[in-house]
Amino acid sequence: MKNTVLVIEDNEQNLYLVRFLLEKHGLCVHEARDGRLGVTMASELRPDLILLDIQLPMLDGYAVAAEIRSNPALRSTPIIAVTSYAMVGDREKALASGATDYIEKPINPSTFIDQIAKHLP
């Protein structure tokens, strides 16, 4: 059975690249283009991994991570913040909101899969 990844991202180009890389490595990809839909899809799909942008419409990534963590069924699901927020303290804020890990954009296609693979079952 393929690992399932939920990508919560509103930028078309970022979504295209991430989807391409994940599918190339045999992962099943679902996408949500706003924070509210991301929370709903996470609850319905119970993915193996969530890739989460921080700048999202409806709910920002911090609120999304906090809501996902409040769901007992998703409490241990890895959430990786994939964001252009790279100022001092942004990583800590993402982790404090419930993210498991943090990757800065722009992502490096040659290392991206290795960065997330350690969080897959």
pLDDT in tens, 50-100: 999 999 999 999 999 999 999 999 999 999 999 886 677 888 999 999 999
User: What's the CATH number for 4-115?
Assistant: 3.40.50.2300
At 30 the pLDDT is 98
Task: Delimit the domains of the chain by residue range.
Answer: 4-115
Whether residue 106 is preceded by a cis peptide bond, meaning omega within 30 degrees of 0, is yes
At 90 the pLDDT is 84
Task: Catalogue the E-assigned strands of 1-121.
Answer: 4-8, 28-32, 49-52, 79-83, 101-104
pLDDT in tens, 13-34: 999 999 999 999 999 999 999 9
At 65 the pLDDT is 97
Three-class SS state of 76: coil
Three-class SS state of 27: coil
Reported pTM: 0.96
